Amino acid sequence: MKPSFRRLVLAAAVSLAVNTFAPVPGLAQTQTASKSDQWIHVRVESKDDGGETVRVNVPVDMAVKVLPAIKHQPLHDGKVRIENSHMDDVDLRTILEAVRSSKDGEYVTVEGHDDDVRVAKSGGYLYIHVTEKNKAEKAAKEPEGKEGHAKPARSKESKVEVKVPMKVVDALLSAGKDELDIVAALHALSSNGDTELVTVKDDENTVRIWVDSKNVSD
Amino acid sequence: MVLLAKVGIGIGATLCLTAGWVFHEGVIRVDVDEAKPDGAHVHFWVPATTVSAGMRLTPRHYLRQAAEQSRPFLPVLREVAKELRKYPDAELLDVRDSQNHVTMVVRDGRLYLDAVTDADNVHISFPTETLRDVADGLEEASPGI
């Protein structure tokens, strides 16, 4: 074997070894990106005759980019404007502010005629539990439909359970009065890891909203 | 004989290159089948390049008009098109009940919209790049929107 050819073979072998064992920047970047990719999943399951199921999976990063582009009231620049009238007799913002400044385990309880609201803080998470009472009673009181039949009174109670990391709450409230900063909240959410956010259960529907790193729902 | 062979190779190579360029963005596929008797059946494949090429050939005022009409949705379309490229495989939407099934899926960089209902079956798929071409074309036609 000629010395020049031997040098060439040696150089090729070294080059192959370096390329095989050295980290590939593009690949490393992809793996990091996919690891940090978080998805918001929404699943709605209806228990009526049609058995409707809705599954939505949206990358958090995509939502962060797309939301500011939507300009449709009450959403603008990634923020949602809350009208006080929509909150009935519960001032959500005041409750959240109170909980934010309070210690773990302290909570606010609102016992209304129609709803019970419980807000608690524990381990860096905010828990909101809402129980709507007398749903059957309310449904029976509703005016008759077009067909002249009253709505059947199926549900007695519906439960809403919300679990939100406190840093997401802080981000949500960072927009100012009567506004919730959804984009800031999504940024905070994406850094939090897998989280079960909302569960709503009643006799008719089950709604679940959660965040994880899978690009499909369960 | 040799000259003829050279000409043949030249034409063949040109055809291959042209086909390669026309299909390099993939194809747009549309399948519509109405379930009723004598219902319409529409099936066609179009190279996605025709969209970007078509937008360059369309008279400017038509594009400006389209951009103005789609003004509220254009920023959203632009962002969605940009973001979809980052997610080549994703199941975005799945809605089903006893009679209907609607899905929106991204697979291998293509967006698949499928709606299977009692009345008809609709399957549309196109490269996510096509959305961006449309957004870019409308933006170029009417900057500032």
**How remote is the C-alpha of A205 from its chain's centroid?**
18
Distance from the A57 Cα atom to the nearest Cα atom in chain B, whole angstroms: 5
**Closest chain B residue to the Cα of A216, Cα to Cα:** B91
Of A50, A56, A71, the CB nearest to B93: A56
Q: What is the pTM of this model?
A: 0.72
Give chain A positions within 8 Å (CB) of B91: 55, 57, 215-217
- How close are the terminal C-alpha atoms of chain B, in Å? 60
Integer angstrom CA distances of residue A12 from A17, A24, A25, B38, B84: 9, 18, 21, 67, 40
The DSSP call for residue A143 is P
Does B95 contact A at CB distance below 8 Å?
yes
DSSP labels, A98-134: HHHTSPTT-EEEEE-SSEEEEEEEETTEEEEEEEE--
Q: Which residue of A has its CA nearest to B107?
A: A215
Which chain A residues touch B73 with a CB distance below 8 Å? Answer: none
Between CA B30 and CA B123 the distance in angstroms is 6
For A178-195, how does the pLDDT look when each residue is reduced to its tens digit (9 = 90+)? 788 999 999 888 888 888
Beta carbons within 10 angstroms of residue A206's beta carbon: 15
Report the C-alpha dihedral over residues A72, A83, A209, B102, rounded to 10 degrees: -40
Residues of A within 8 A of B85 (CB-CB) are none
Q: Identify the DSSP state of A84.
A: G
B38, HSE (Cβ side, Cα atoms, 13 Å): 0
Report the complex ipTM: 0.77
CA B77/CA B8 separation, integer angstroms = 45
| Chain A residue closest in CA terms to B73 | A70
Among A49, A54, A58, the residue with its CB nearest the CB of B95 is A54
Residue-wise burial string across A106-126, b where 16 or more C-beta atoms lie within 10 A, e elsewhere: ebbeeeeeebebebbbeeebb
What is the model's pLDDT at position A20? 38
Residue numbers of B between 98 and 127 with CB closer than 8 Å to A: 98-99
Inter-residue contact A81 to A178 (CB < 8 Å): yes
Establish if B92 touches chain A: CB-CB under 8 angstroms.
Answer: yes
Residue B88 at interface with chain A, using a CB cutoff of 8 Å:
no
Cα–Cα distance measured from residue B114 to residue B117, given in angstroms and rounded to the nearest whole number: 10
Question: Is the CB of B7 inside 8 Å of chain A's CB atoms?
Answer: no
- Establish how many alpha carbons lie within 13 A of residue A13's alpha carbon, considering only the half-sphere containing its beta carbon: 6
Closest Cβ opposite residue A53 in set B78, B91, B96: B96
Strand residues in A1-124 grouped as ranges (E): 39-46, 53-59, 75-76, 79-81, 107-111, 115-122
Is the dihedral angle over the CA atoms A132, A138, A144, A148 positive or is it negative?
positive
Facing residue for A215 by CB, picked from B89, B94, B96: B89
Whether the CB of B144 is below 8 Å from some CB of chain A: the reply is no
Per-residue pLDDT of chain A (218 residues; tens, 9 = 90+): 555 545 544 554 554 444 433 433 433 333 333 445 889 999 999 988 778 999 999 999 999 999 998 888 788 888 888 776 555 566 667 777 777 777 887 677 888 888 888 888 888 888 888 888 766 555 555 555 444 444 455 556 789 999 888 888 888 888 877 788 999 999 888 888 888 899 999 888 899 999 998 877 66
Contact B91 A61 (CB under 8 A): no
Return the amino acid letter for A17. Answer: A
CA distance A43 to chain B (A): 9
Residue that has been written with the tokens 């080059």 in this structure: A15
